[in-house]
Each structure stands twice: as structure tokens, then as C-alpha cells.
Amino acid sequence: MRVIAGTARGTRLRTLDGTDVTRPTGERVKEAMFSSVQTMLAGARVLDLFAGSGQLGIEALSRGASLCVFVDENRAAAAVVRANCEAAGVRDRAKVTNTSASAYLASCRQTFDLVLLDPPYRMGTVQQVLPLVERAVAPGGTVLAETEYGCPLPENCGALRLVKQYKYGTVAVARYEKAAPLPWEEEGSE
């Protein structure tokens, strides 16, 4: 597994052994995901939930994101994320948190332009965590959620709207967007 594009292009990333802990996103899926959000990455604040090896957040940082918070409840996975960030030269823009996605989101006070979700399959995790994620998405922000193909997902979740689903063999990526307020809806505008 390697970084596909940007400043860390070609950097090989470590993963934990066994698919019970992590299931790295395939390169074809990762390239398609990032092609769909490339124009929004410069300076973006990114949240990588269920980070695993950190490859998705590192790809975002490599392509110009200003910050990425990596969240994984597995201590060994968090250590691998730290090592991979160091290897990719993005450690100064990375924050690694060793806690569950739900616990992190429950206490999260910041918002993100891009949220990357790649939880374990067949557990309904995306459906469970999406309401918490919605609060952490900045207006105009995007959520990319990787699931197994055929996983039922809501069309709406609070202010998040499902705008597209992509299929890659047995993998699906759902794209949710949170509308940006119109100029006359913003606080303090007259």
C-alpha cells in the first residue's frame, strides 16, 4: 500500500496484520475517492475515522489538506498511523487520537471540510455514526463513507444529503454533502 499522489507520492505505508483489525482501501477505490474531492483538498481540515493505517488521511495531507485528525480505537492501529505519518512527512499536520469514533465525535468541538469513514463492514457502523458525524461537518463539507456494496444508507441525515454512490466491485462509496449557507443566511450578514 502506498500514497498515490502529492508530496508523499510513492511512500509505502505499513498496515497491521490480519483483516480483523484493518481492511485497507484498495488503490483503485482510493484514487476514485480522491479524484472526486481533489478540488476541495487545498487547505482542508480532514477527519479520518476508523483510521486503520491512516492511508486515507495521509493521502489527503499529501494532496494539500492543512490538517487531519486520525481516530482509531485500536492502540496498535494508532501507533501504525503515527509511524505512517512520520514516513510520509506529514506528522506536523496530523493529530492521532486513540479512542472510539463515537467517543471522539461526542466531545468534538471542531468542524471538518472532509470526513473519511472506512469502518468495519457488515456491522451497520456508518448508519450508527452518521448522526454524530453530521455535527462535525463544516457547512459546504463532504463525507465519503466506504461500505460493502448493497449496504442500506439513509438519503438524509440531519443536514447531510446523499448526493452520489459509487460502486467498485464489492465496495461502495457514499458521498454526503452538507449545504453551505446562502450569503443572506450567514450570521452577522445584513
Q: Parse the chain into domains and list their residue ranges.
A: 27-179
Least confident of 20-34, 89-103, 108-122: 20-34
For 1-47, what is each residue's pLDDT tens digit? 889 999 999 899 998 876 554 556 777 888 888 989 999 999 999 99
Identify which of 63, 62, 81, 98 has the alpha carbon closest to the alpha carbon of residue 22. Answer: 81
Q: Which residue do the cell numbers 472506512 mark?
A: 118
Counting DSSP H helices and E strands in the chain, the numbers are 5, 8
> Collapsing DSSP states into helix, strand and coil, what is residue 98?
coil
Identify which of 11, 22, 109 has the alpha carbon closest to the alpha carbon of residue 61. Answer: 11
The second-level CATH assignment, the architecture, of 27-179 is 3-Layer(aba) Sandwich (3.40)
For 44-86, what is each residue's pLDDT tens digit? 999 999 999 999 999 999 999 999 999 999 999 999 999 999 9
